[in-house]
Amino acid sequence: MSKPIKVAVVDDEVDLRENIAAFIDAARGFSCTSVYSSAEDAIARLPLDKPDVILMDINLGGMSGIECVRRLKPQMPEVQVVMLTVFEDTEKIFSALTAGASGYLLKRLAPAKLLEAIREVHEGGSPMSAPIARKVVQSLQVVPARGDENMELSTREREVLDGLAEGQAYKQIADKLGVSIHTVRNYIRRIYEKLHVCSRTEAVAKYLRN
């Protein structure tokens, strides 16, 4: 069996924090390694915990979750951070992504979807709740015409990118196109190579801008 995905939770709402931790620990293939109520504690101790994925709230009691991510990433470049928050405004979304977050989810997300998102970010994806993905797309739709670089993308690769832009998970894209998740990942790997990007957010941004 493969090793469980190690997850840390940073949130100052004690009930929510403990509920998320318990749910993750009870799920097969996942393990909650630590929970923290403040950014300050997380910065001091998470590098020692070495989780694979961090679920980070934005509105913490002291330092914000966004600033926490900004300070943690240089110490833990390999860790994947997913913001788990109630905030939907564009400024916070892009501040979090710029700080180093790989995903952005709303707290009202169904528990099963949260596990799916954790696995997705661990495998190199950038999960986003649908309303968040829509805001990202809308904010990037400055130039509607496609540039020469995007002309190298195949029709199927563009279909995959359209799914990513709409915030769809890999499985949703695979089901829609009638292919396997493995095939979708292969398409995404080729898309990243052609667009010279390293993440879902960068790929969508470049696709829509050019």
Token reading at 42: 């997380």
C-beta atoms surrounding 84 within 10 Å: 25
How high is the pLDDT of residue 20? Answer: 94
How high is the pLDDT of residue 141? Answer: 58
Domains annotated on the chain, with CATH: 5-133 (3.40.50.2300), 141-209 (1.10.10.10)
Burial of 94 (C-beta count, 10 Å sphere; 0-12/13-18/19+): middle
How high is the pLDDT of residue 125? Answer: 85
How high is the pLDDT of residue 181? Answer: 87
How high is the pLDDT of residue 81? Answer: 95
**pLDDT tens, residue order, the chain (210 aa):** 578 999 999 999 999 999 999 999 999 999 999 999 999 999 999 999 999 999 999 999 889 999 999 999 999 999 999 999 988 887 888 888 888 899 999 988 888 999 999 999 998 888 888 888 777 777 665 444 444 454 588 889 989 988 887 777 788 899 999 999 889 888 888 888 888 776 777 777 777 665
How high is the pLDDT of residue 46? Answer: 95
How high is the pLDDT of residue 210? Answer: 57
Q: Angle at CA 67, nearest 5°, toward 32 and 27?
A: 15
d(CA 17, CA 21): 6
How high is the pLDDT of residue 145? Answer: 44
Asked if 95 contacts 115 with a C-beta cutoff of 8 angstroms, the reply is no
Kindly report the backbone phi and psi dihedral angles of residue 90, in degrees, each rounded to the nearest multiple of 5, phi listed first.
Answer: -60, -40
Asked if 107 contacts 86 with a C-beta cutoff of 8 angstroms, the reply is yes
